[in-house]
Amino acid sequence: MDLHFEELLGKVTDFIKSEAKTETVVGEPFELGQFQCVPVIKLGIGFGSGGGEGTETKTKAIKGQGAGAGAGVGIEPIGFLVTKGDEISFIDAGKAHGLAAAFEKVPDLIEKFADRKAKAEMAN
């Protein structure tokens, strides 16, 4: 058995690159009326590996090898970056409700921007 840690690490890294993206967790950026919405995620990655080798004694040849590797990925949707014109805001998804809370906040976001616009127009 040959130990190929670099090859294994490369495969794990390629997998993480392809899967640990906002698009695979919550979807692509989208438009909602005049608003551009970009999902935002929090990503945590952990790696671990181990190895071994064989020994030889004066009276007996002992061969051995061992290897192990593991990786973990934690992905959590945390909110949306929302733009309208030159304004940008972050809408928190909330820890208690996750992604569902973010989608529930979209109507509030639209109302918030409309209120800002109305106040700005009144000030001018």
What integer pLDDT is reported at residue 115 of this predicted model? Answer: 81
Per-residue pLDDT of the chain (124 residues; tens, 9 = 90+): 455 767 877 887 788 777 777 676 667 888 888 888 888 888 888 878 787 888 887 777 778 888 777 777 787 888 888 888 888 888 887 655 555 656 666 777 777 777 887 888 888 7
Structural domain including 12 reads 5-54+61-123
Q: In the chain, how many domains are there?
A: 1
Separation in Å, CA 98 to CA 12, 78, 92, 101, 104: 27, 7, 9, 6, 10
Q: Which residue has the tokens 């899967």?
A: 19
d(CA 85, CA 89): 11
